[in-house]
Structure 1
Amino acid sequence: MTAVDALIWLATVAAPLGGLAALLLGTQRLYGRRRFVVGTALLGAIAFVPALLLEGFLQRWQGLDKVAGTLDAVTLIYLFVVVAPLEQGLKVAAVAPMARLRTVDEPFDGLVYAAAAALGFVSAHNAMYLWGRPLSSIDVVRAALAVPAHLFFASLWGYALGRERKRPLGGRRFNAAWLAAMLLNGAYDYIVFACRPVALFIAAPMLLGVGFVTFLAARDLLRRSASPHSSQRRERRFLPHISPPSLGTMREALRRTERPLMLSWIAFGALVTVGVMTTTLALAVALGHRFGVDFAAVDRGDASTAAAAPLLLLVAAAIAAFPFAGYLVARASSTGSVLEPAASAALAILGSLVLLGLAAPVAVVFATALAPIAFSLACAGAWIGTTR
């Protein structure tokens, strides 16, 4: 390992520790539980050791390699059935002592402890992943993306931990959040490690979407603090100058209004969504051919911008269809709720996943990773349509 490689290794290991330091500054001002947060981060780092040993044993035993860049069903099953549940389960185990000691006094504590465990885990992960190998740009990007990925995925069940303080581990909300984090973790690992390097471009919008959900979850937990005045003060310190709709407002928009559920508009809206998505994809292909974009570069596995350009163009076109379709369905149905447009978007996404599963099963992983973003954008478009 050269001096430059050593500096890069140190930076990737120190990045999660920097995030932990920022977390400590915030938690010290808010709750004064520095030792608990540090202890959880240390447990998170220690929890990576059994994951490393077990994954290494299974990879040697079965000849698996999750970073081989091969698109096969065995690697897919290994990542979803072994790696993702193991990593998320060990992070929960790192938080379990604090939950059992009843140190989760405030709603925001659950998110703090989950984030601390994730940052400790990913710091150890990056240290072992990059140690002793000639570093390439792909390895560095993978290590850099791992920091927000582990943080955001753990924050999903950390939010549930803060909401269910009386039954912190094993509640219905916690189990659902942990399952979602596990599935996203498996999809992320498959996209970033098992696929070709060009697939890294898909991980960025996926992490942005999960990060936005984490942001909304943090705002919601801050609002649930014991004192309204302290809640407002905490929110200003942690999340200043940004005021998107809260999770409560979004849940209210998804509830049924006085009008009965319009099943016909759900079915029609799904067809509209598919039609708009087909149109945007066709326009993207036409635009790509107009400017000489080589779509066959994706199949050839080129690791250059020649393969990244068509992939980004198609992904952007598919995602851009959902807010526009949600807006159209909301305006056409004249409903005061986002429920019908959201259900139609979910139906269109489900249909797309089924068709992709029949045509190209590997593509289902990519579609699953982008599905939450598409659904959120459809709801946002419908929100605009209902308020105009």
Structure 2
Amino acid sequence: MTSVSTRSVVEMLLAVASVALALWVRRRVAPRASVPSHRAFTLVFLALAMALVLGVFEGRVLAFLELDPRDREAQGALLAFALLVQGPVIEGAKALLVWPVYRAGLVTSGVFGSLLGALVGFGFFAGECLRFAFLDEPGPPPFELRLFLSLPLEVAAPAAYCHTLGVRGRDRYFGLAWVLCAVIHALTHHFLFVRGGAYWALAIPPSALSAWLSYWLLFRQTEGTRRTNAFLELEGLSLREVFRPARRPLKLIWIAFGAFVTLGVTLVLLAFAVYVGHRFDIDFTLAEEGSGYSGLLPVVLLGSAMLAAFPLSAYLVARASGASSVLEPAWSTAMAIALVLGLFSVSEPTAVVVALGVAPVGFALACLGAWFGLDR
């Protein structure tokens, strides 16, 4: 009883901290996107209530389908449920709370749209915390850490697709951004709250990237023009120029060659990680079974090797091709990820989940590595 009470207190504190953080963010962004405090609190409260309602709905649907998140034999069905039902329903509910404001023509800037989305995300996270504190059983250990890692993902997703609603001419990208966020939400939720062992560690890179994305969307225009320009002007190349084939058209040969380079570098680094693991007597089977340090270590080792392969291979491709933009290395990375997904979908379906989970972070790291190798 004591452990349950302690867990509930921790989750309640996380819920209160989420609401307080939402109001703090509203105050920080106020110079560029002002939302009255009572309206911000109302939006957060509505999101909190909707999260509780959807939590009850999710439990009823899982019971109707006879799916138990703790059943290892039902991992495939639970992943399908997350992709087809859970992710779209939750992100759809978040968008539904912001949509009336957009239809009224009140979303006047991208920062304002991101602020509304972030407030909804903070409210949903608070509702999730209260749901696990009073309604549902906790997931695999360490559950509180898993719950904390979901906060940036809950906030960044609505902040990203609501940002498109406030930028003139870009609201047509809302649907695409929403679909991507729904898929990422489903995958990370599966890692954090369904998969046992140390697979929760695979959600750390997307969580860190989501935290940075939230900060960039909310505060990039509130810290002064000089600092913003210093970030956007990367040694004479703006972000638009980095992603634009300025000097010559894209060459398919370098995209195809880069895909095989990415696969080769990934295999070499994974083989090196396995060698290091066996050298220091690391049991890789504990990644599925263990939840402590012994289970976390093999996941961190293999995940670090996989993520390091993306910027390294993109840098090599950019240097070899003499590229002036990151598009060729970026497309080669996307092609390599698509090839891996195609192979794993036939041989090892579980690995598809891992590949999809690291794909957004890997793509971002590939763009970063390619930028260092650009011919400037």
Normalising by structure 2, report the TM-score. Answer: 0.90
1:192 touches 1:199 (CA, 8 Å); kept in 2? yes
1:340 is aligned to 2:328: yes
Q: Distance in 2 between matches of 1:246 and 1:361?
A: 42
Letter in 2 for 1:17: V
1:253 touches 1:337 (CA, 8 Å); kept in 2? yes
Partner of residue 99, structure 1: 102
Paired residue secondary structure (1:368):
helix
1:310 is aligned to 2:328: no
Q: Distance in 2 between matches of 1:244 and 1:362?
A: 39
Partner of residue 283, structure 1: 272
Letter in 2 for 1:105: T
Paired residue secondary structure (1:258):
coil
Match of 2:113 among 110, 113, 121: 110
Q: Distance in 1 between matches of 2:137 and 2:246?
A: 59
Match of 2:67 among 57, 64, 67: 64
Match of 2:156 among 152, 160, 165: 152
1:383 is aligned to 2:350: no
1:132 to 1:62, Cα distance in 2 relative to 1, 3 A: closer
Paired residue secondary structure (1:235):
coil
Q: Distance in 2 between matches of 1:211 and 1:381?
A: 20
Letter in 2 for 1:118: G
1:114 touches 1:158 (CA, 8 Å); kept in 2? yes
1:219 to 1:30, Cα distance in 2 relative to 1, 3 A: closer
1:37 is aligned to 2:40: yes
Normalising by structure 1, report the TM-score. Answer: 0.87
Structure 1 residues 197-225: Cα deviation after superposition (integer angstroms, max 9, x where no partner): 411111111111233333444466x3xxx
Aligned residues: 370
1:322 is aligned to 2:310: yes
% same residue: 29
Q: 1:138-177 counterparts in 2 under 5 A? A: 138-164=142-168, 171-177=171-177
Q: Distance in 2 between matches of 1:97 and 1:274?
A: 46
Q: Distance in 1 between matches of 2:47 and 2:296?
A: 35
1:36 touches 1:98 (CA, 8 Å); kept in 2? no
Partner of residue 18, structure 1: 20
1:245 to 1:356, Cα distance in 2 relative to 1, 3 A: farther
Q: Distance in 1 between matches of 2:339 and 2:83?
A: 22
1:262 to 1:32, Cα distance in 2 relative to 1, 3 A: closer
2:142 touches 2:291 (CA, 8 Å); kept in 1? no
Q: Which runs of 5+ in 2 are unaligned?
A: none
Paired residue secondary structure (1:14):
helix
Q: Distance in 1 between matches of 2:346 and 2:183?
A: 20
**Residue 132 of structure 1, CA deviation:** 6.2
2:22 touches 2:122 (CA, 8 Å); kept in 1? yes
2:29 touches 2:218 (CA, 8 Å); kept in 1? no
1:85 is aligned to 2:73: no
1:341 touches 1:379 (CA, 8 Å); kept in 2? yes
1:273 touches 1:325 (CA, 8 Å); kept in 2? yes
**Residue 240 of structure 1, CA deviation:** 7.5
Structure 1 residues 7-46: Cα deviation after superposition (integer angstroms, max 9, x where no partner): 3132121121121121232244444422332222122122
1:219 touches 1:246 (CA, 8 Å); kept in 2? no
Structure 1 residues 90-119: Cα deviation after superposition (integer angstroms, max 9, x where no partner): 111111232233221232110000011111
1:69 touches 1:193 (CA, 8 Å); kept in 2? no
Q: Distance in 2 between matches of 1:283 and 1:351?
A: 22
1:130 touches 1:139 (CA, 8 Å); kept in 2? no
1:352 is aligned to 2:340: yes
Q: Distance in 2 between matches of 1:180 and 1:196?
A: 25
Match of 1:130 among 127, 130, 133: 133
1:66 to 1:32, Cα distance in 2 relative to 1, 3 A: same
1:134 to 1:319, Cα distance in 2 relative to 1, 3 A: closer
Partner of residue 55, structure 2: 52
**Residue 364 of structure 1, CA deviation:** 1.0
Structure 1 residues 323-366: Cα deviation after superposition (integer angstroms, max 9, x where no partner): 11111111111121211111111111111111111121122112
1:255 touches 1:337 (CA, 8 Å); kept in 2? yes
Match of 1:265 among 250, 254, 260: 254
Match of 2:359 among 371, 381, 388: 371
Q: Which runs of 5+ in 1 are unaligned?
A: 223-233
1:191 touches 1:200 (CA, 8 Å); kept in 2? yes
2:26 touches 2:115 (CA, 8 Å); kept in 1? no
Q: Distance in 2 between matches of 1:363 and 1:33?
A: 43
1:6 to 1:278, Cα distance in 2 relative to 1, 3 A: closer
**Residue 69 of structure 1, CA deviation:** 5.3
**Residue 289 of structure 1, CA deviation:** 1.3
Q: Distance in 2 between matches of 1:317 and 1:243?
A: 32
1:19 to 1:274, Cα distance in 2 relative to 1, 3 A: same
1:142 touches 1:192 (CA, 8 Å); kept in 2? yes
**Residue 68 of structure 1, CA deviation:** 4.8
1:253 is aligned to 2:242: yes
